[in-house]
A and B are shown apart, each in its own frame.
Chain A
């Protein structure tokens, strides 16, 4: 009994990493099921859905809100950042342990509490919140504004408040570990690119989750303690005047998006680092322009702190501010382009080994290009004034954040599976999983561009309204739903592969991918690291690669 207890309430970072991945798995399963229910409802609005009956508009909005919150916070923030970093970060920098193991464990358990509080919102009277994951007030500030806006929003705020603290603790630990626990000789230019990704994401987490926590507390105070940070004078709901202070809804938008935009980078920076490592490994090439790519990740993080206003071009923000945010947003395309061109230049020489982790890293790059390119378009206020809050935006962020993020998580799981289980995942199932997912993901999200260009707004539970019914979009919507169902079904292959490979998979040798980074070293570490992370490309008589845990002198 006590052994089970100590296994669960562990401070061992590797075990915490796996626990984070389990948590993300639970969240992604729930989030995916919710999204499939939405897709089914959009195509067959009158269908009777098990446990639901006929879906009401508020049910649909609750599903949207829960889907977004689960995916953004509990999947894309936890798995690539906390999950993988706990699993391999200390090993990659040659540290024995995390800087603050107890804070690290506390961060995980608070995340679990936040998850449970959020999920409980679906089971209470009135249902979950319906105001979308961005929770704009006054809709979210006044419980009379709709079903789910009472206890549902309270639970959402409490959950996200706890999540903020958890993310903060986890980032404090991670940043301290990277700064203070590196082995001698593990200089900035010898860090694997994943560590750069985690470091920038940790800094962003520290800065922006603090602001979100403050915003969540202010909103909670507006709801229960009579303050008016976000509720303007004379505001009325259901024929009753409720605004007695002089608050501003736009204040919430600023606070929320100051968090919300860097959050996108928190989700995708670790994946960018991982993709760089995998491209080097499976092409057996050095990283071209290591310093440029590492600097690019830092530049994306820094600029990412100053672009939040591009979510607000038509929000009522001063149009001159819109121009400034548009310019900074356009500027962030430059380091992103530098990353992509760097990767394409690495891949250009060919001769790559198309193992499953590499396929998923290539899939990540494909989505990053396809979804990222619409970024500069949406950064233009004149065009965003048409596309804002349409399905075009839904397509954009599902490709560049959702699919790129998820594919990088898959790449990480296939790649580091031997470290978790001592076995390799099945390659045939892995490739099947990859190809079906790739095609179905494009089938799901690419056509959403057309729906957005046709002017279809987000958060519509059905196409047919009093003034417009988008008849030309019905076949598109149907195709999207079928693709989404296929995409969901393909993940069963992955789950089966994890299950079967953990039990009966091919036993992995110590360094199955012949990688150079330290997490694959199973022997003693030298006192001093003397090698860079990607020293492939050496003549065969030198073994073709230089391992980071070998001393440079030994090879001479």
Chain B
């Protein structure tokens, strides 16, 4: 059953990848690895194409007017002037509506019930990622307990049973084709969580928990940047997103859990 659904998922992802190859994209942007990215890229392409064409025509108009040494008599036709304005209004409406649909699809609704959950925490000048573990529930954190040197950078409360199996990493590893819901926090100042390859950006704001959801589609390594100036280490506040196959992800997670268990039993033995 699970195999069938993941096969379906892979077929869906492959299909959208082919569609992404056919649809135009902007040469300067990094390759898209997210499911929603192809729509963003297509919108970006057509917006840039339209705006470049208009800028070009506007400048040709200017050059023509400058080169027209003999002054033409009569005014510019009013109907043409208002016709142009109406055409621009139509274009702005098109832009507003197309982009709005994409925004609503991504942000108005939450993730599907099968999405996996990962917490992203920004801190001067480091990203942390927390997986809830087998109980699918994040343990309680308290800023008073934050102690990176003692191996508790997020301030997990050991008295909360849910925190025991939480896995904290500095690399974000995600299985391809699986929708993920990120819940973003910051310990100190505002940071900007930005994965160019996933067409994804959301500030992390201290005092708030914010959610974004997306589906990484193409396996690979994607840089994670900080896009909101956060202090002297801002330009170095980077991490990596590794999108891997579901099997590799399961193996990686198991290794992390074992590592965590070893660390815990080592602690008790001491």
Interface stretch, picked from A5-13, A77-85, A256-264, A457-465, is A457-465
Q: How far is the CA of A8 from the CA of B70 in the complex (A)?
A: 48
Q: Which of B85, B99, B108, B239 contacts A341 (CB 8 A)?
A: B85
B210, closest chain A residue (CB) = A316
Q: How far is the CA of A454 from the CA of B54 in the complex (A)?
A: 23
Contacts of A340 in B (CB 8 A): 58
Q: Which of B61, B187, B240 contacts A348 (CB 8 A)?
A: B61
Known: A337-B88, A382-B102. Is A58-B201 also a contact (CB below 8 A)?
A: no
Q: How far is the CA of A485 from the CA of B49 in the complex (A)?
A: 30
Within 8 A of B (CB), among A232-266: 232-237, 239, 241, 243, 246-250
Q: Is A380 an interface residue (CB 8 A)?
A: yes
Q: Is B223 an interface residue (CB 8 A)?
A: yes
Q: How far is the CA of A139 from the CA of B122 in the complex (A)?
A: 13
Q: How many residues of B contact A (CB 8 A)?
A: 90
Q: Which of A315, A334, A376 contacts B95 (CB 8 A)?
A: A376
Q: Is B164 an interface residue (CB 8 A)?
A: no
Q: How far is the CA of A61 from the CA of B226 in the complex (A)?
A: 15
**What per-residue 1/0 map shows which CB atoms of B18-61 lie under 8 Å from chain A?**
00000000101110000000001001100110010011001101
**CB distance B228 to A235 under 8 Å?**
no
Within 8 A of B (CB), among A268-292: 283-284, 288-289
Q: How many residues of A contact B (CB 8 A)?
A: 96
Q: Is B224 an interface residue (CB 8 A)?
A: yes
A318, closest chain B residue (CB) = B107
Q: How far is the CA of A283 from the CA of B72 in the complex (A)?
A: 11
**CB distance A351 to B235 under 8 Å?**
no
Q: Is A327 an interface residue (CB 8 A)?
A: yes
**CB distance B235 to A57 under 8 Å?**
yes
Contacts of B58 in A (CB 8 A): 340, 344, 369
Within 8 A of B (CB), among A323-369: 323, 326-327, 330-331, 333-334, 337-338, 340-342, 344-352, 354, 362, 365-366, 369
A-B contact count (CB 8 A): 292
**CB distance B65 to A350 under 8 Å?**
yes
Q: How far is the CA of A457 from the CA of B201 in the complex (A)?
A: 11
**CB distance B26 to A453 under 8 Å?**
yes
Contacts of A381 in B (CB 8 A): 99-100, 103, 107
Contacts of B106 in A (CB 8 A): 382, 385
Q: How far is the CA of A365 from the CA of B205 in the complex (A)?
A: 39
Q: Is B194 an interface residue (CB 8 A)?
A: yes
Q: Which of A146, A337, A380, A466 contacts B96 (CB 8 A)?
A: A380
Known: A334-B92, A340-B58. Is A314-B192 also a contact (CB below 8 A)?
A: yes
Q: A236-B187, A349-B68 are in contact. List 13 more A-B contacts (CB 8 A).
A: A57-B233, A136-B189, A138-B188, A235-B206, A283-B71, A334-B92, A342-B81, A349-B73, A377-B47, A380-B95, A382-B99, A388-B227, A467-B225
Instruction: List the interface of chain B (C-beta within 8 A of A).
Output: 26, 28-30, 40, 43-44, 47-48, 51, 54-55, 58-59, 61-62, 64-76, 78, 81, 84-85, 88-89, 91-93, 95-96, 98-100, 102-104, 106-108, 124, 142-144, 146-148, 187-190, 192, 194, 196, 199-203, 205-208, 210, 223-236, 238-240
- Complex A-B, nearest 8 residue pairs according to Cβ-Cβ distance, in ascending order: A232-B207, A351-B71, A350-B68, A455-B196, A380-B99, A345-B76, A468-B223, A467-B238
Instruction: List the interface of chain A (C-beta within 8 A of B).
Output: 56-58, 61, 64, 130-132, 136-139, 142, 145-147, 149, 232-237, 239, 241, 243, 246-250, 283-284, 288-289, 314-316, 319-320, 322-323, 326-327, 330-331, 333-334, 337-338, 340-342, 344-352, 354, 362, 365-366, 369-370, 373-374, 376-377, 379-383, 385-386, 388-390, 450, 453-455, 457-462, 465-468
